[in-house]
Every structure is written in structure tokens, then in C-alpha cells.
Amino acid sequence: MSERVKKVLTVVAGVVLWCVILVAALYAFTTLATKGNGRVADIFGYTPLSVQTDSMSPTFNAGDLIIIKKTDPSALKVGDIVTFHTIIENQYALNTHRIDEIEESDGIRRYVTKGDNNPGSDADIITNGDIVGKYVFRIPKLGRVMDFLSGSAGFLVCIVLPMLLFFIYQVYNLVMIGMKLKKAQALEAAEEAAKIKESAGEQSTEDETARLRAELEEAKRRLAEAEAKKDE
């Protein structure tokens, strides 16, 4: 595998990981926001919610993801779309409808709400304490993704499995880096040994040359002595 391909795969893996983290964060906050403990999770005041019905169609539809923001109830007016705590079919729920009327008496504001696609107003009148936030915008169809992720299969396939694959890929990278490091160290050791051997060979050659020169000088000296005796 070429270095270029490896770099591309690393970038792709990083992008996939960040996408998974983003989706996981949206999933976590959407799940927390629908729990029946009266508290709603938010990110810097914003909360993502999955739309379950078409009561507000065509403003937003079932399967959309809507974003709401914490707001001061006293600033709300007729026509605003708000998310509020309510009871639907004897179960706690968050509902998002448009303010149809505002009544105020004894210092308490009461809101009559209505779904854009509903023939009549909601049965329950809400107050400031029921309001969670004001509708900001929607992301079409992304709510279905959040609903899928809320199931065990979706969470496993879209979050756990990609993160596991990314973890395996990172371990593979670490193993390959370790192998390359060992190979580089072995190559460096081999080069060092070759240098030592070459140096030793050069020293041996120099020693042999010096020995031969010494023997030659000794032979010349003896020959000179022999010739000197002969002349006597």
C-alpha cells in the first residue's frame, strides 16, 4: 500500500470518526431530552428533538429533527412555536405546537397551543413553567436517523461498530509503525556492523602492508651486510 493511499485512508477514517461522534452526541442529547424526569438536555441552550407526528405539518413533519432554544417566556407572543412539557396518553412527553392565544391573570401567563395541522386547540393550557424552549429551525428527515439510533440495532451498527473499526484501524497503524521502527533499527544495526567490519578490514590490510614493508627492509639490511662482508 502506497503512502498516498495510507494518507487518504487516514483522512477518511478521521472524517468518519468525527461524523460518528457528532451523530452520537445528537443521539445522546435527543435521548436525554425525551426522558420523563422533567429535565431537558441542551447544548449551549439548544436542544435537538425528533418529531414524532405530523401535527405541525407543513412547518415540520414526522421524521424531521427540530432545534429549540431556551427562551424567556415573557418574550413569547402569539404565533411563536414552543416546546413544552405535557401529558399525552397518560405519559410524560415533550410537545411542540404554535401559541394560539395568551391569557394573563393574577400575574400568571397561560398559553393556548395548537398544532398547525390539527383542527382544534390542545386540551391542556400551559404556563411559563411548562415551556422548554422556542422552535428555531428543522433538519428534514434527520429525526428518523435519531429514532433509528435510539434502538439497540441502530446504536450498534451506526456508532459502536464504526468506532470499533476505527479502533482496530488505529491498532493496526500502531503495529505497522512498530514493525517499521524495528526494521529501521535492524537496518541501522546492520549498517553499523558493516562499517565496523569494513573498518576492521582496512586496519588488517594496513597491518599486513606494514609487516611486508618491515620484512622487505630487513631483507635489504641483511643483503647489505652480506655484501659488506664479501668485500672484506
Whole-prediction pTM: 0.59
Q: Is residue 109 part of a domain?
A: yes
pLDDT of 99: 97
At residue 4, the 3 state secondary structure works out as: helix
pLDDT of 40: 75
* Total number of domains in the chain: 1
Q: Which of 88, 99, 114, 111 is nearest to 34 (CA)?
A: 88
Q: Is residue 201 part of a domain?
A: no
Q: Is residue 225 part of a domain?
A: no
Q: Is residue 203 part of a domain?
A: no
pLDDT of 72: 92
Distance CA(136)–CA(191), nearest Å, equals 67
Output phi, psi for 96, to 5 deg: -130, 105
Angle between helices 161-231 and 3-33 (to 10 degrees): 150
pLDDT of 103: 93
96 in Cβ contact with 49 (< 8 Å): yes
Q: Is residue 105 part of a domain?
A: yes
Give me the CATH number covering residue 52: 2.10.109.10
Residues of the chain with pLDDT under 50: 36
Q: Is residue 146 part of a domain?
A: yes
Q: Is residue 59 part of a domain?
A: yes
Domain that residue 70 falls in: 3-150
Q: Is residue 219 part of a domain?
A: no
